[in-house]
């Protein structure tokens, strides 16, 4: 949760609960309800920022998320390869 307003699309009713239990995370259970959820976000910058800030605070229990997970994994893999070839 990077402080970016998000919508959890659970159209297949998977009930993925790790992040979907965050109170501020918007939910779309069927395609028909997406528009009503999405339109206010596209029209109200203050709403997006408020929701994003709240999501970031709520997700702190999961740890810091900086969007660099892929880079961290690649760096770790490279360090293992260096150890094996040294």
Threshold 0.85, pTM exceeds:
no
Using CA atoms, how far apart are residues 10 and 27, in angstroms rounded to an integer? Answer: 7
Q: What is the pLDDT of residues 28-64, one digit of tens each?
A: 999 999 999 999 999 999 999 999 899 888 887 776 6
Report whether pLDDT(65) > 80. Answer: no
- Mean confidence (pLDDT) of the chain: 83
- Rounded to 5 degrees, φ, ψ at 8 are -85, 115
Report whether pLDDT(68) > 60. Answer: yes
Phi-psi region of 28 (alpha: psi -120 to 50; beta: other; left: phi over 0): beta
């Amino acid at each position: 949760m990077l402080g970016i307003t998000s919508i959890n699309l659970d159209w297949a009713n998977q009930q993925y609960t790790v992040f979907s239990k965050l109170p501020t995370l918007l939910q779309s259970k069927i395609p028909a309800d997406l528009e009503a959820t999405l339109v206010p976000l596209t029209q109200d910058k203050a709403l997006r920022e408020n929701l994003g800030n709240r999501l970031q605070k709520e997700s702190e229990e999961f740890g810091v998320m900086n969007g660099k997970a892929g880079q961290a994994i690649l760096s770790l893999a490279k360090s293992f390869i260096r150890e094996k070839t040294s």
